[in-house]
Structure 1
Amino acid sequence: MSMRTHSSSSCFILLLVMIWPKSTVQQSACPVTSGNSDSCCSSNSCQKSSCSPQVTGSTPAILTLNDFSQGGDGGAPSECDGDYHDNSETVVALSTGWYNGGSRCGEYITIYGNGQSTTAKVVDECDSQNGCDSEHAGQPPCANNIVDGSAAVWQALGVPSSDDRYGHMSITWADA
């Protein structure tokens, strides 16, 4: 093999390494973070993450409850459209990694839980990097595996507010 051929091969391999998509490796290596308690704000010990577990046809997650209406616990208007949303709308916020810089804004996901399924529109980010401030209604950063759903999502899944799981339930989800 001539020096010129060897040099060209090395450059080609280096180029491949530089341009090969890294998101797949980063996503699959992203560990699930545990949820932050409200006390992490006062102790400045909140876990923060910019990645979420890889999305599959049945992505495990935790469904939490969010009030997307003005004055609700969601804080500011929804990131995707700058609007507040009524609790009768099936809407969700996704953890930072799944929100992916807004790439899922306006898209629908299918949520499976409690033996039921429903679709919901992505309207916001459940911020896994920032929190404990007025923009986030004083709440700590989200864990990186959160689907934060409106009351309508919980109702569509048949989970009454009297159920112990209401507000925090294991689910799976997929892009619709």
Structure 2
Amino acid sequence: MKCLILASLLATLLILISTHAEGSPPVTKNTKATLTLNSFEKGGSGGGPSECDGQYHDDDTRIVALSTGWYNGGSRCLKKIIINANGRSVDATVVDECDSNGHPPCADNIVDGSKAVWKALGLDSNVGVFGITWTDA
């Protein structure tokens, strides 16, 4: 009986660890994040093809990469999120992980958006960094 309880506790702990990376808060209705600018096109600033589908994407498509904790091992791949900023809301599809070891490096709490996301929010993409909130769609 003790072994069964211990195994159950261990399984629960592993699930908790795998679904919440250090540094990334849980996603709520208004999760705070920093929106950064990225190009998902071949030869763009994002590097290789997107993790979720192995493809490059046009800068005119509303897509994002999420920092490692929120990407959660791909559990949000090809799902939509809703981003709020500048008095506007926009939906975007998760296509990639914004990795802290990548190029360019990406910190925790980042939503790395395409030019189309910035445009839909009425933000100046020349700034390249903006405080937002977001949630799963």
1:44-59 matches, within 5 Å, as: 52-59=24-31
The answer to whether 1:144 aligns with 2:136 is: no
Instruction: Provide TM-score, normalisation by structure 1.
Output: 0.69
**8 Å Cα contact 2:62/2:117 also seen in 1:** yes
- For residue 14 of structure 1, what is the aligned residue in structure 2? 6
Q: Match of 2:10, SS? A: helix
- Structure 2: give runs of 5+ residues left out of the alignment: none
- Label 1:28 to 1:100 Cα distance change in 2 as closer, same or farther (>3 A): closer
Q: State the structure with bigger RCO (CA 8 A, min sep 6), 1 or 2.
A: 2
What percent identity do the matched residue pairs reach? Answer: 58
How far is the alpha carbon of 1:143 from its aligned partner? 0.5
Q: How many Å separate the matches in 2 of 1:11 and 1:62?
A: 44
How far is the alpha carbon of 1:159 from its aligned partner? 0.9
Q: How many Å separate the matches in 2 of 1:125 and 1:29?
A: 13
The runs of 4+ residues in structure 1 deviating greater than 6 Å are 25-29
**8 Å Cα contact 1:62/1:147 also seen in 2:** yes
Number of aligned pairs?
A: 137
- Counterpart among 29, 54, 62 of residue 90 in structure 1: 62
**8 Å Cα contact 1:90/1:120 also seen in 2:** yes
How far is the alpha carbon of 1:27 from its aligned partner? 6.5
How far is the alpha carbon of 1:54 from its aligned partner? 1.3
How far is the alpha carbon of 1:124 from its aligned partner? 0.7
